[in-house]
Structure formats: C-alpha cells, structure tokens
Amino acid sequence: MSDTPQDALDALTVEEKASLTSGADFWTTKAIPRAGVPSIMLTDGPHGLRKQTGASDHLGLASSVPATCFPPAAALGSAFDPALAERVGVALGVESAIEDVAVILGPGINIKRSPLCGRNFEYVSEDPVLAGVVGAGLVRGIQSQGVGASLKHFAANNQEHDRMRASSDVDPRPLREIYLRGFERVVKDAQPWTVMCSYNRINGVYASEDPWLLTRVLREEWGFEGLVVSDWGAVNDRVAALAAGLDLEMPYSGGQTDRQIVAAVADGTLSGDALDTAAARMLALVGKAQRRPAVRGPLDVDAHHALAREVAGRSIVLLKNDEVGGAPLLPLAEDATVAVIGEFARTPRYQGGGSSHITPTRVDAALDALTAACGERISFAQGFAFDPAIPADEAAALRDEAVALAASRDVAVVFLGLTEAEESEGFDREHIDLPAAQLAVVDAVLAANPRTIVVLSNGSVVALPFADRAPAIVEAWLLGQAGGSATADVLLGAVNPSARLAETIPLRIEDTPAYGNFPGSFGHVRYGEGILVGYRWYDARRMPVAYPFGHGLSYTTFSYGEAAVSVRPDGDLSVTVPVTNTGARDGREVVQVYAAPVSSIVERAPRELKAFASVEIAAGETVTVELVVRRADLAYWDVRVDRFVVEGGRYRIEVGASSRDIRSTAEVAIEGDEVRLPLTPESSVADVLAHPVAGPIVQERFAAMRESADGAMDAGIMADEAIAKMMASFPIGRLAAFPGMGVDREQVAQLIALANAPQE
Ligand code: BGC
C-alpha cells in the first residue's frame, strides 16, 4: 500500500473504494492488487477460531480447522475475572494469528434480558458492568497478538426470534444504562479494531443504518476509532448503511451493492466523503493486520487445552453443597464409590449451536476423567437418552438401571443438561425446563440415594425443581473442550470452585423480568421492564429466586471485615475490605461491590454491581481487597438533558459475596453533576425550589411571607407539608391565575429571567 493513508486512499478509484467496503466471499475482504491492498480474513469467534477452508456458512454447519474450544462466555463470565478473560483472549489471538486471520468475530456481550434467548451461552451476563469488564479483557488479550476483535452484536440484540427484522423498542434509560453501557466500556477501555452491528432494529431503525447508533453514540460520544462491520447479512440498504457509519458489508453482495454505492456517489445521494471515510477505515484495518508480527505454527495444542481446562475449572459454579452425615458431599471423599449417571458425563455438551460452533482439537468427557482418577470406584449408567422420542419402556429401563446403580454406591453424581437441539443461535427457548425424562431420573435417584450430586450442562439457566432435595448442585454451563476434566477437577477437589452466577437463576419463567414482553410480536419487542433487568428486577420486587446473581460456593469459607469507602481525587470511589479465608483450604473469593443512591429523583434498582475482584486467599489468611467504583458507573441517563448524570447525595455501598449475601455496608456522600435546566412558565414549583439561583430567592420570599401579616395565608399554604407536596408539580406560569397566591405574572417573568441569566 502507499506510504501515507491519504496517498493510499487517493490512489483508488471510486469503484475500488466501493469494492473495499464489502466482502469478497464469506470470510474475506477484497484485494486491490494494483494498489497493493491485500485481502484479509474476518471469521468466528467468539470462544475459539472457526476458520472454514471448505464450504462456508454462518450457521456452524460445515466444518472448520481444528481449534481450541474455550469455555463460551456464559461460563467465562462466571469467573468474574477480566485477567482470566485476557489470557483466553491472548490464546484466541495466537490461534487466529497462526491461521492468518486478521479479525476474530467476538466477544459477544449482549445483555441476557431473558433466560429464553437462544444465544445466552455466547453472552456474558445480565449485568452491563460485568459484561463490559470481561469483554474488555477479551479484547485486550486478542489484540495484544496483533489480531483484531469484533465487539458484537451492537446493539440491543437480546433474542433470536425474528432477529433479522424485529425492532427492540427500548426507552432511553434502559438503552443507555443497561444495553449500551457494556459496549461503551469495552470501546473506551480497549478500542476493539471492529464493532459488529446487529441484525435487529432499535426503536424502528435497523442497527446497520442508524447514524445515531453507529456515528453519534459510537464515534462521537465514545470515541470509537475502528471499523464497523455488519453482522453477516445485516445490511438492508447499503447506501443508507454507509452514510450512517457502517464501513464494511459482510459477507459479499456479488458486486451489486458496490455498484449502488458508486451510483449514489455519482448522483450525489451519497457524499464522496462518506465513501472515502469508510474506505480509509478499511485501509487502516488492513494496515493493522499487515503489521502483525509473523507467528509461526504449529499451535501448541496441549498448552491451549490446559488453559481451556484451567478456565473451565474457574467457570464452574458450586450452587449448593449441604452436609450429609456430618460433612458436605463435595469434594467427593477419597474412598467413595461413585455412581456416575447421565449421558452428558459420557457425551459432553461443551459448546452451543450456530456460528460459534468450533471443531475442537480434542474433547474431554467427565466420565473418562473421573475414571482415570478413581479407577474402579467409578461406575456408569446412562440414565436417559438425548432423544426425547425413545419408547417409554426403553426410558424406564435406563432409569431403573441408574436407580439400581445409585442405590449400590456411596454417592451418585447425576449429569443433567440441555441438548443442542434445545439451545442454539437462530431460535429462542420456549421454557426453562429440563427434559422430563431427566427430571424423572434425578427424582428416582434422589429417592434411592440421598447422597446425590447434580451436575448441570446448559448454556443458559434452567429451572431446578429438585433444588430443595438435592444436597449438592454444580452449575457446569457449557465449558468448552476441556470441560469434562475440569468438572472432575472440581468434583474431586483438585480445583476449589470460585465462580459466581453472572445471571440469576429464577424459580419460574413467569417471574422473569421480560415475561410477557418476550419475544414480542409483529416485528416489535417492547422492553417493558425498563432498567429492571436481571437481579435489579427481583430485588426491586423483593422476589424469591432459586439462586441469586453473584452466588457461588467454595470448599472453604470467607469472612468479611468492615468495608471503608472514600472518594478519590479523580471522583472514583475507593472501596477496601478485609477478607479472611476462614476454612482449611486455599481458595478464591469473588468480592462484589454494589451501590445505589439512598434516595433519588428517578427510578433506581435497589443495588447495582459496580466493581468486583476475584482474589486468591490462602487458608487462614486475610487480604485487604481494594476495588474501584468508577464515578461514571454511578450515573443515570437523564432524559431531560440527554446525558449521563451523577446525582449528588448519599450512596449506599454494599460489599458482599453475592447480590443477596451482603457482608458489609457503608455510606458515602457524593457531589453531583450540575444539571441546570432553563426555567420556563411550565417549570414546576419543585423545579424552581431545586434551581440553584431561583430556589434560594423563592425560599427567602416564602420566609418573608410567613413573617408578614398580608402573606399569612400564602405562607400557610407552603408551610403545610401536604399542600406543599401538592403544589410541587404546579407550573409556576399558572400560579398567578390563583388569587391569594401572592404571585403575579410580572414576578414569575422576573424570576425566570433571573434564573436563566448567564452565570459569571
Ligand atoms: C452471527 C454472528 C457471526 C456471523 C458470522 C451471524 O449469523 O450473528 O455472530 O459472527 O454470523 O458467522
């Protein structure tokens, strides 16, 4: 390519520029040999490389080169650890570089609005701070290897149903505070090389052709410097898309939409500058890819498999571990005979269906790992078949065999889960229940042997009707190719579990925030729950849940001291808390900081996650954990001024081991951002009283009125608390219409002029 970016651009014809901004085929961009511009490859993602060398598709159908399948985001998010995510990112970058892939299509950080979303396994959390922090870790890691990330799917793509057309109808506050916040964090903290716009519409406008989303918010407000690529096939109107800020259409359009661009520039419907901008961004992306240091294979398959195992171990959530006969069931006793039950132990489900489907370098099954470690103490019964249509007598025979085995062993470990047919990209679930055949098996096994542990394989939460009866439950998500051995590590105690729920496990689908508003109809889905997504909803309604956000047990125990909070000079909060490992094993505690203003002028969730840290603490030791709450994360989106505003006043800072296990609470006073709205005759009495200039003047006048005989009645009105409350919403322009108020039009006009006069 030419020496300077401008030279490179100037060297291209309009046709060449247009051709640069759409794909050459399924996974690559177009080369312009004359100008020395090479083609680059962008491919899936997100938790492993899916590079297809034969047939191409975006549904995960045809095979791809073998790559390490790391734990999908649902699992990785549960580790609550951006440093771990970064290490996974580095490995993804290395594998991409070896395969000469310029951009890997991930991470996906859409909010898990409903447990029904078919793609929740690919997303991090129901919380935007957690999703953003983990997403930024992945991007940093990938890009440290000279490979680009693609932050997806931007934005408000929270369901699969009708995903290529439906409009996510979201109010400004939830859009900003919940659905865009994680993206904002990743863009600001990690500058992904690319952002992938989503298929759906947002409030009626396709994400792919929304100038507000792709240019005003993403670039002008957040400072995004990279390239916007479409999701595969997301472009509805290429000319409108390019004008809105979409730089690269993927996969390819057979040249047709390139010709539309050329024609639009010729007839002036599209400015030449807009095309230049998109082409320049493509050249910049190609340039970055070219600068990647040469990486030579072969891939160290063993090292990456070992990392996948470590990460999987860090992603397993121990939901419950009750004592049976004086000791917790887990880790398994060293001499216990164990009945391993359930097809998932032998045939692991370790990744989701669709475009993220990876051809793994190898796959570990929990049954093999347990047998390798424990030998003859392990015996297996299938328990159930994946196929729900098997004849009833065969199902009964499998169940009976499992029950007999469970009854004859010290402990039973039952592996339950969802099959790929039940959970994938492209469609949503219709319920959150495990298959009936599996529930029948676990019930029967529990009746035969109360020392029963349940291990779950699922990409998104399932209802746990046996939760009260099963003494131990392990949420093992979809854990990637080494999930089986990592599960054995946790069951046997080689790994002390430390992951936490990045999404609430509800009792019933009917309790979930989007219930009744998901997945919408006739091309629209209303985000009626507003800001109350995930735990915010259950907490605001004080609803019981099966397991709360942030929950997860360990084989050791931790106690918390008093939390201390202070405001740093930069406005962020510093939170410190001593945490002691009070058990006999080394372990990791995920310390969580939640915050909320004590009182607010807008609706607030009772608590919101603002910071967290996964900390290693040796048995018997105390670590003083220091966490930083960003001031920006305390802000709400103020629709009056169209920006984030930190409200002044006292904030409750809760430090705990889960959203419902708060161990220490502190309060801190925070200075608010100034929001000065011009007063008008439509401003209310409350607006006036809160106004920095008009407020004190009016207060003074009330005080004077109270003292004067003439004003006794008026003063009486405002002195009476109930009446003052009633008057609060009274527009000041209309006060003069009421005799005896002691206010005339002239005075109101004067007050407004004074309040709105420019300040020195
Ligand atoms: C998915 C993207 C994926 C792309 C390419 C689309 O269907 O939504 O996440 O990166 O296909 O496979």
What's the whole-number mean pLDDT along residues 591-614?
98
48 Cβ inside 6 Å of ligand 1? no
Question: Tell me, what DSSP letter sits at residue 547?
Answer: B
Q: How confident is the model at residue 178 (pLDDT cuts 50, 70, 90)?
A: very high
185 Cβ inside 6 Å of ligand 1? no
Rounded Cα distance, 399 and 385, in Å: 10
Tokens of 658: 């889960």
Residue 39: how many other CB atoms lie within 10 Å: 17
pLDDT score for 702:
73
Measured between alpha carbons, how far is residue 253 from residues 24, 30, 51, 249, 756 in Å? 8, 12, 21, 8, 55
Asked whether the predicted pLDDT for residue 123 surpasses 80, the reply is yes
pLDDT score for 719:
59
pLDDT score for 706:
66
pLDDT score for 322:
98
pLDDT score for 720:
65
Tokens of 232: 């595969």
What's the whole-number mean pLDDT along residues 198-208?
98
SS3 183: helix
Asked whether the predicted pLDDT for residue 281 surpasses 70, the reply is yes
Asked whether the predicted pLDDT for residue 213 surpasses 90, the reply is yes
Q: Are 727 and 742 a contacting pair, CB within 8 Å? A: no
Asked whether the predicted pLDDT for residue 714 surpasses 90, the reply is no
Which of 290-294, 352-356, 589-593, 696-700 bottoms out in mean pLDDT, i.e. has the lowest?
696-700
pLDDT score for 51:
95
Q: 119 alpha carbon to ligand 1 midpoint, in Å?
A: 11
154 Cβ inside 6 Å of ligand 1? no
489 Cβ inside 6 Å of ligand 1? no
Distance of CA 316 to the CA centre of its chain: 18
Amino acid at 511: D
Which ligand 1 atom sits nearest the alpha carbon of residue 198?
8
Q: Where are the alpha helices (DSSP H) in 531-613?
A: 535-540
Q: 466 alpha carbon to ligand 1 midpoint, in Å?
A: 36
Token look-up 């046709």 returns: 15
What's the whole-number mean pLDDT along residues 377-384?
98
Ligand 1 atom 8: residue of nearest CA? 231
pTM of full prediction above 0.85: yes
Token look-up 């951009």 returns: 103
Asked whether the predicted pLDDT for residue 100 surpasses 90, the reply is yes
pLDDT score for 290:
96
Tokens of 251: 């996969």
Amino acid at 561: G
Q: 320 alpha carbon to ligand 1 midpoint, in Å?
A: 36
Asked whether the predicted pLDDT for residue 716 surpasses 60, the reply is no
Asked whether the predicted pLDDT for residue 277 surpasses 60, the reply is yes
Please choose from 43, 110, 231 the residue to mutate so as to test ligand 1's pocket, defined by most ligand atoms within 8 A of CB.
231
pLDDT in tens, 623-676: 999 999 999 999 999 999 999 999 999 999 999 999 999 999 999 999 999 998
Ligand 1 atom 7: residue of nearest CA? 58
Amino acid at 716: G
355 Cβ inside 6 Å of ligand 1? yes
**Phi-psi sector, 454: left (phi>0), alpha (psi -120 to 50), beta:** beta
pLDDT in tens, 313-322: 999 999 999 9
Rounded Cα distance, 347 and 151, in Å: 32
pLDDT score for 760:
62
pLDDT in tens, 548-587: 999 999 999 999 999 999 999 999 999 999 999 999 999 9
Asked whether the predicted pLDDT for residue 348 surpasses 80, the reply is yes
Rounded Cα distance, 16 and 35, in Å: 10
What's the whole-number mean pLDDT along residues 680-698?
88
Residue predicted with more confidence, 20 or 253? 20
152 Cβ inside 6 Å of ligand 1? yes
Which ligand 1 atom sits nearest the alpha carbon of residue 199?
8
Q: Is the dihedral of CA 141, 144, 147, 152 positive or negative?
A: positive
160 Cβ inside 6 Å of ligand 1? no
pLDDT score for 259:
97
pLDDT in tens, 21-30: 999 999 999 9
pLDDT score for 690:
85
Please choose from 25, 42, 44 the residue to mutate so as to test ligand 1's pocket, defined by most ligand atoms within 8 A of CB.
44
Q: How confident is the model at residue 701 (pLDDT cuts 50, 70, 90)?
A: confident
Q: 637 alpha carbon to ligand 1 midpoint, in Å?
A: 31
What's the whole-number mean pLDDT along residues 460-488?
98
58 Cβ inside 6 Å of ligand 1? yes
44 Cβ inside 6 Å of ligand 1? yes
Q: What is the largest CA-CA distance in the chain?
A: 98
Q: 62 alpha carbon to ligand 1 midpoint, in Å?
A: 14
pLDDT score for 735:
82
Which ligand 1 atom sits nearest the alpha carbon of residue 106?
10
Rounded Cα distance, 109 and 77, in Å: 10
pLDDT score for 294:
85
What's the whole-number mean pLDDT along residues 456-465?
98
pLDDT score for 575:
98
What angle in degrees, to the nearest 10, is found between the helix axes of 301-315 and 483-492?
Answer: 50
Q: What is the CA radius of gyration of the chain?
A: 29
Please choose from 208, 355, 358, 424 the residue to mutate so as to test ligand 1's pocket, defined by most ligand atoms within 8 A of CB.
355
Highest mean pLDDT among 354-368, 692-706, 727-741 belongs to 354-368
pLDDT score for 708:
65
Tokens of 643: 């920006």
Asked whether the predicted pLDDT for residue 122 surpasses 70, the reply is yes
- Rounded (5°) CA angle 38-46-529: 125
Residue 55: how many other CB atoms lie within 10 Å: 9
Average pLDDT over the chain reads 95
Q: 233 alpha carbon to ligand 1 midpoint, in Å?
A: 9
Residue 753: how many other CB atoms lie within 10 Å: 10
Token look-up 């603002």 returns: 610
Please choose from 109, 121, 230, 232 the residue to mutate so as to test ligand 1's pocket, defined by most ligand atoms within 8 A of CB.
232
Distance of CA 52 to the CA centre of its chain: 28
Ligand 1 atom 11: residue of nearest CA? 58
Rounded Cα distance, 437 and 433, in Å: 11
Q: 26 alpha carbon to ligand 1 midpoint, in Å?
A: 11
What's the whole-number mean pLDDT along residues 434-449?
98
Catalytic residue set: 231
Rounded Cα distance, 483 and 488, in Å: 9
Asked whether the predicted pLDDT for residue 718 surpasses 70, the reply is no
Torsion from C-alpha of 371, 376, 381, 386, nearest 10 degrees: 10
Q: 231 alpha carbon to ligand 1 midpoint, in Å?
A: 6
pLDDT in tens, 5-19: 889 999 999 999 999
Count each helix (H run) and each strand (E run) in the chain, helices first.
23, 29
What's the whole-number mean pLDDT along residues 421-444?
95
277 Cβ inside 6 Å of ligand 1? no
